Every structure is written in structure tokens, then in C-alpha cells.
Homo-oligomer: A and B are copies of this chain.
């Protein structure tokens, strides 16, 4: 088996798990995706940075409270893997329905960074956890043809 491809697939799976957690609007699922430490960083579209898991968790709680439904179709995925760190860049094609509004189709460019966990005898051993998320809205967004 191609070892390099194996690692890349693990990282793509972790990236997909983040968007599945986002779609589920479940804070418990989002908790499983992130590393719970003081130095993790999250930049939501249009916002300054949130640092530390405590602050980031709170931001997700607020976002989930204010979202009725959200669906992601992820394209343009680029993965760069190093020994302990992996960088994923992708385009989030989003259908969202915020409280009392209609479904809106938007595009967000994302930089997602995952860190490989190496704690022995720990449930997170060898797992890639999110340590950084940076999303920014695409101003002149054109949905790709495959997104129907």
C-alpha cells in the first residue's frame, strides 16, 4: 500500500469530518474534531481570530444556535502533509439557511490545519486533530458546475 497516499487520505478524512460536524450542528461532534488546547486558532469569515479551544468552542455554539440548516459541497481540495502537521486548502460551496431566512448559496475559501497526535495509550493516538481554521468569503462567487 502506498504509505504517502494513506496519510493524505487520513487528512482528507479529518477534513471531511470537520464539515460533517459543521453540517450536524452538534457541538459534541465539533469537539471531536478539534485539539482542546490554548494555542488553537479559528478565524470565521469576516471576524478577527479566536484563540484557545474555550473561546473557539463558544463561537461554534453561537454559530450553531443561529443556523437552521447548512450544507457543504467541498471542491478544490489541496493537501500538504508534513511529519506532524498537515495543511488543507479548499473551497466550501455552501447552502445555508440562517434563522428565519431563505437558503443562500455562498462560497468560502478555507485553510484548515491538522496536527497529528502522538500520545501513547490515548484515544487520540495517531489521529489528526484540527488546530487552525481560517475561512473567508468569496466576493464574486460562482458555484462550480458539479454543485447542483
Contact = CB atoms under 8 A, between A and B. Distances in A.
A111 B91 contact: no
A82 interface: yes
Contact of A82 (B84, B91, B132): B84
Given A39-B78, A78-B51, A82-B84, A111 B89 contact: no
Given A41-B78, A91-B48, A111 B85 contact: no
Interface size range on A against B: 20 to 34
B134 A136 contact: yes
Given A41-B89, A49-B89, A111 B134 contact: yes
Contact of A109 (B39, B43, B83, B89): B43
A109 B137 contact: no
A51 B90 CA distance: 11
A85 B140 CA distance: 32
A27 to B, nearest CB: 24
Contacts of A139: 46-47
B87 A49 contact: no
Contacts of A85: 82, 85, 87
A49 B49 CA distance: 20
A111 B134 CA distance: 8
A71 to B, nearest CB: 20
